[in-house]
Homo-oligomer: A and B are copies of this chain.
Amino acid sequence: MRILVTGAAGMIGRKLVQRLLAEDGLGVHPIESLILHDVVRPEAGSAKVVALESDLSAPGEVEALVAHRPDLIVHLAGVVSGEAERNFDLGYRVNLDGTRALLEAVRAAGLAPRVVYASTEAVFGRPFPDVIPDDLAPQPLTSYGTQKLIGEALINDWSRRGLIDGVSIRFPTICVRPGKPNAAASGFFSGIIREPLVGLPAVLPVPRDVVHTMASPRAAVGFILHAATMDTAPLGARRAVIPPGVAVSVGEEIEALRAVAGDKAVALIEERPDPAVWAIVETWAKAFEAKRGRDLGFEAEGSFDEILQVHIEDELGGRVPN
């Protein structure tokens, strides 16, 4: 099996590649080659890996990728939310034109690969109910959400015509994100867990009763592998799926932290309300019905305790540092 991963140097991309290499296959299919693409060169780490570095939206680039004739394309590449909002042209060029170019290249090459497309829960914008039903009309309030919604529409139409066999995953917030704190408005959901667990301070800029839906990086990779191998017949023409996740309050996150790392860790969280962060976060979805995603076999953690445990296992070697 030949697998192309765009955005392969990103956090989810790297974890996906690690998992594919560790299992040396996708389901029952051995891996023949793994074509990894990003704007920075992805790590190779195996003789089966072809690591490529280029701008996906530059002329000829997608054709060069598709020339490897992938059976599966995992399209994770994209300009993130804040950047797409600040840089209108860049967001449309990469998130919309890049995706369209990839689909056109696949069509021109006469391939009909499985395509797993990274969409987002940010296709939904307020007003919406506390629990968003599976069939609610998406109404994005960002250019990023708009571009992802358009990508979903293309994936649906290309799939309906048999040009690809696509699945779009509306990813929830991934938590606990490993690595350094970043500038994302959602960063504190991970930061208030990741930093105190290793004895570092963290800032909580929003009230403790904020509820948000999360899944672990391991669950996110699981969504992709399921989308890559599932029977797509039950999807019909509706290729976008809301996967399950854990709807949890910040206060519940903190109590889960206390249970594994004690009051000492919790004391490292400084509550410092930030109206600018709050103005963004309060527009976000709280929870999702995600019945269809569950029925289609997508699986996530059942509680924040589990999400925390995954972080400890995958990032901290299985134990909380003293």
User: Which residues of A are at the interface with B, using a C-beta cutoff of 8 A?
Assistant: 88, 125, 135-141, 143, 146, 149-150, 153-154, 156-157, 160-161, 237-238
A29, chain B: closest CB distance, angstroms: 30
- With A136-B137, A139-B156, A150-B150 known as contacts, the answer to whether A125 contacts B237 (CB < 8 A) is yes
- With A136-B135, A136-B137 known as contacts, the answer to whether A156 contacts B161 (CB < 8 A) is no
A241, chain B: closest CB distance, angstroms: 12
**26 A–B pairs (Cβ distance < 8 Å), ordered by A:** A88-B161, A125-B237, A135-B136, A135-B137, A136-B137, A137-B137, A137-B138, A139-B156, A139-B237, A139-B238, A140-B153, A140-B156, A140-B157, A141-B160, A141-B237, A143-B157, A143-B161, A146-B153, A146-B154, A146-B156, A146-B157, A149-B153, A150-B150, A150-B153, A150-B154, A153-B153
Q: A239 — nearest CB in chain B belongs to which residue?
A: B139
Q: How many copies does the complex hold?
A: 2
A242, chain B: closest CB distance, angstroms: 11
Query: Which residues of B sit under 8 angstroms from A88, Cβ to Cβ?
Result: 161
A104 to B231, CA, bound (A): 40
Query: Which residues of B sit under 8 angstroms from A135, Cβ to Cβ?
Result: 136-137
Query: Which residues of B sit under 8 angstroms from A138, Cβ to Cβ?
Result: 137
The 8 lowest CB-CB distance pairs between A and B, nearest first, are A146-B157, A137-B137, A135-B137, A150-B150, A146-B153, A150-B153, A149-B153, A143-B157
